[in-house]
């Protein structure tokens, strides 16, 4: 039987081995294991794992980590787009792993504010969205490289450009999931084949929606409203419909003063005014001329003029309030009395 001191040493040996700092290969193997267990390849970190994997000396940290900072409490803020950016970050990670299977050079991870406030403080993060690249040469967490806001513009594609320019690793094309699953495509195909005879019968009889002029009229109005309201601009730029007032979180801001940004509500408001004037002019030229009562025509024309004047004045006022641009009235020079010879 071993002496008492030797028995104590044998009992303490596993604890000493567990407490000993892990080597570079051990950390890489552990990160690869955590990545394999994540459906998207994004490793979830906490304060403890940040200390283990990101605060280790460079000699034991031969890998880079792209870290996404998240806050579940702010997912309801439409101007931050955190859920969408988190989804795009997962697509970025999955695309990188598809092109670089088993890579130990770069890992993708996220961290949540409510459970890792200490790490947020260490990185100096005070606003979201926020992404950091921690490379082996970064000796401190605060000294790591922050992804610029411009790299969120095209979502995963612009994030990939940031990763490739900073790490020299190739992400490859972003692989996005199809809109429809295989079973859904098969079901839609079957329904389409079944509907072909019925569709042919209605086309021959002239009873389709394409034969209804009201549908064409509604489509034309939609295209016009969509155009003048800046709908395509909002889709391309991912413009929020409204913002939350910084001074009062319970208050919503629908109109933003300043030419550098346009909210969706602003475009829809101006588009409504444009469409209103267009509909009134169409009503006057196509419907009002068919009314026999002269008194009704005069009353309708006065109403159209008054509403049109209000709508145009409102558009001019909003444009001046937002951009500072003013519309001035210029009279023909021949109308000015002082220009006539005495």
Q: What is the mean pLDDT of the chain?
A: 82
CA angle 145, 65, 159 (to 5 degrees): 65
Question: What are the backbone angles phi and psi of residue 202, rounded to the nearest 5°?
Answer: -70, -35
Burial 242-266 (b: 16+ CB within 10 A, else e): bbbeeeeeeeebeebeeeeebbbbb
Bond preceding residue 129 cis, omega within 30 of 0: yes
* DSSP secondary structure letter of residue 236: H
**Strand ranges in the chain using DSSP code E only, listed in sequence order:** 42-45, 64-70, 106-112, 130-134, 145-146, 243-244, 252-253
* DSSP secondary structure letter of residue 263: -
Q: What are 105-159's pLDDT values in tens digits?
A: 999 999 999 999 999 999 998 889 899 999 888 888 888 999 887 777 778 888 8
Strand partners, 131: 68
pLDDT band per the 50, 70, 90 thresholds, residue 259: low
Strand partners, 145: 133
* Domains of the chain in sequence order: 24-167 (3.40.30.10), 230-323 (no CATH)
pLDDT at 242 over 50: yes
Neighbours of 340 (CB within 10 A): 8
Residue with the bigger pLDDT between 176 and 279: it is 279
Q: What are 31-60's pLDDT values in tens digits?
A: 999 999 988 889 999 999 998 898 877 677
């Amino acid at each position: 039987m071993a002496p008492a001191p030797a028995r104590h040493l044998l009992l303490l040996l596993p604890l000493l081995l567990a407490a000993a700092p892990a080597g570079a290969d051990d950390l890489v193997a552990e990160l690869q294991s955590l990545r394999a267990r994540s459906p998207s390849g994004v490793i979830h970190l906490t304060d403890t794992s940040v200390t283990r994997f990101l605060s280790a000396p460079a000699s034991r940290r031969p890998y880079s980590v792209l870290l996404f900072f998240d806050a579940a409490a702010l997912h309801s803020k439409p101007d931050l787009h955190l859920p969408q950016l988190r989804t795009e970050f997962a697509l970025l990670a999955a695309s990188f792993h598809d092109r670089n299977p088993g890579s130990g050079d770069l890992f993708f991870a996220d961290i949540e504010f409510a459970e890792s406030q200490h790490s947020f403080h260490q990185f100096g993060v005070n606003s979201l969205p926020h992404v950091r690249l921690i490379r082996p040469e970064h000796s401190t967490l605060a000294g790591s490289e922050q992804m610029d806001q411009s790299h969120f513009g095209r979502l995963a594609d612009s994030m990939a450009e940031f990763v490739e320019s900073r790490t020299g690793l190739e992400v490859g094309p972003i692989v996005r999931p199809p809109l429809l699953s295989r079973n859904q495509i098969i079901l839609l195909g079957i329904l389409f084949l079944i509907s072909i005879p019925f569709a042919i019968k209605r086309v021959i009889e002239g009873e389709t929606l394409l034969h209804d002029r009201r549908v064409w009229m509604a489509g034309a109005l939609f295209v016009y409203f969509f155009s003048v309201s800046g709908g395509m601009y909002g889709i391309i730029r991912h413009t929020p419909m409204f913002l939350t007032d910084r001074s009062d979180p319970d208050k919503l801001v629908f109109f933003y003063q300043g030419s550098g940004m346009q909210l969706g509500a602003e475009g829809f408001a101006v588009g409504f005014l444009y469409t209103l004037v267009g509909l009134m002019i169409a009503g006057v030229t196509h419907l009002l001329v068919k009314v026999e009562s002269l008194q009704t025509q005069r009353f309708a024309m006065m109403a159209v003029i008054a509403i049109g004047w209000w709508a145009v004045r409102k558009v001019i006022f909003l444009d001046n309030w937002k951009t500072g641009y003013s519309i001035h009235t210029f009279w023909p020079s021949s109308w000015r009395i002082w220009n006539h010879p005495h």
